[in-house]
Structure 1
Amino acid sequence: MDVSVIGISPESVEIYRYFLRHRGEGVGEARQALDMDPDTVEAAIEDLERLSLLDLGDRHKVVATEPRIGIERLVERRLNELNAEIRRVLAARDAIAVLMEDQQQGERAASVLDIERVEGLERVRQRLDDLGFFSYKETLCLHPGGPLSRGAIETALPLDTRSLRRGLAVKAVYHPKALDDPLMAAYLRDVVSLGGQVRITEESMDRMVVFDRSVAVVPIHPKESARGALLVREAGLVSQLVTYFDGVWDAATDLREFTEPSKEPPLLSELERRVLSVMATADKDEIAAREIDVSVRTYRRYVADLMSRLGAVNRFQAALRAKEEHWI
């Protein structure tokens, strides 16, 4: 029984129940009967009086308020407090119009190009976190140079996990030097196991992150990323950066292939190829199974196996990866 939500502590509950069971007894009897510190008993009794659950007009004959009256009164009071709080929270929406006007004034006063300068590593990390949280489609990353620091990895993995579990595509390209650090290599394997796509390239590249192909983040200085970053929202510039990413991505090697190169392309049966071809087009398993003339159970077994081999978290992603790996 938890009534702390209406302001009654566990000690007060025990004392209130004592006086309900022992009508007409005084404070002294309660102190002797209850296995509590006397100061705790006294404080709880004062709280119960303040909550109108005990009448201490005569401390030798304490009267406990009927629960149907006392508890209901406290519940109603708490509900009134919550309703008032909700009204105050909703009233905060009134600030939107004023703040939007401030934003519009800032936009009118801003330079022609929609490029925001963010200085300081901590502020950049916060903005990256915000952009990742509000993304709904994909994140594209280029990471030249060596491994991330331990702190950066500990920060990045929860963000990547959150994005992938929300269904976002995460595509990143790293330089082989990043794999020299066992902690970094383990982090990249974790990202892949969660459904992310990681590739490796020895070619030089520029550091950047692109969110939903609409916002690009690049360093203020290409050799000193800790100085800060530029947040680019100009559609033309972002499009060029995405094209640059796609070129680097297409030329890079899948992490698994780079670390454990396969000597031969995957051997797929004709049925496996047919399963892959319908995975991204059929709305229901029953329709897909009927289209390739197998039972639903067989179709689902093949789908599960192929998803595991492709490291995909859903069927649509498996179909995309199959095309990228030239399986179909």
Structure 2
Amino acid sequence: MPDQDTSDIADIEADIHAHLAEIAEIDAVAVRVYQLRVAHPTDLVAQLAERAGLQVAEVARAERHLARLGLLQPSPGGGWVAVNPESAAESLLAPVEQDILERRITMAATREQLHALSGDYLEARGMRSAKGSIEIVKDLGNIRSVIDDLARTCASSIEVLSPGGGQNEEAMRAALPLDLDVLGRGVRLRMLLQHSARGHRATAQYVETIVAAGAEVRCTGVLPSRMLIYDRHCAVLPVDPEHTGVGVALIRDTSVMGFLGRLFAHYWRTAEDFLADPECDEAAPPEEVGGELRGIERDVLLLMAAGKTNEAIALQLGISRRSVSRLVGRLMDRLGATNRFQAGARAARLGWLASVPPA
């Protein structure tokens, strides 16, 4: 099963790279022909060539290439009709997105089947030493008691992944005294939220309070699961990420803890300050074009490369369309691109699309 999954994912990645390679071939002639076809939809090829100062063969070749990319479609009356670039991107990437969707459905079904073995697995693990065990805690009252105990006894660090938008207000009220207590004891508290949480007043107030007490809070576009890590020795994960009240798993296995620590570090490294103004226009200077993207710029680029419209990006990240338009423009400037296709191709060559795939 793992070998087959790896092969299928590799095929999907190969399709994506093939699309990007084709997009990368858009040259100045194709861009010019596309612009003229938008402005003069009824022109014959010869007329378009005269307007562009090009050979008829050059225009015809450019139009065929633009048609393969979905930027031109045949007109019922003959010739070509220009298509909106965002609509073309949706059509171009739709087969790849369908493959990804089907793979995710298969993975979800496989995960459910494997979860059915959790009881037998945990029973066997219970025979090992306590240090390498995984313990399941059920009932909301028991879960809170365990988390309270871990918070009161931790000595060096607490790391938190908290997906979703605005956080549960009752949970934040219960967590605040514990957070202030651990910060007062000199424990380093680092928390990761999603961009959409910025628009939730109670969450923003909670973040301001703990940051003032010394916590570090960042945000990113997508997080995989809720997670708490205490002193890098014990992690708390939901048994069911969709229904966190069902129960949690306390993980102390050394190898698993190493992986979870690296997972948190990856998301932390690419996130941005939660309290930073997402509307501010702090564009990176041109000489930093080869540098690694961080935070919301990275998330916008990944969603843009997936063919999402500005409106869809704004909805997923929980920011305004005005902010998305600014960020898209900033990315185009940094990449020296004149259109979204060129931006995607150049970002791929720089390795900016090889981090975390958009959800």
TM range (shorter): 0.3 to 0.5
Larger RCO (CA within 8 A; separation ≥ 6): 2
- Larger-Rg structure: 1
Given the two structures, how large is their TM-score scaled by the length of structure 1?
A: 0.46
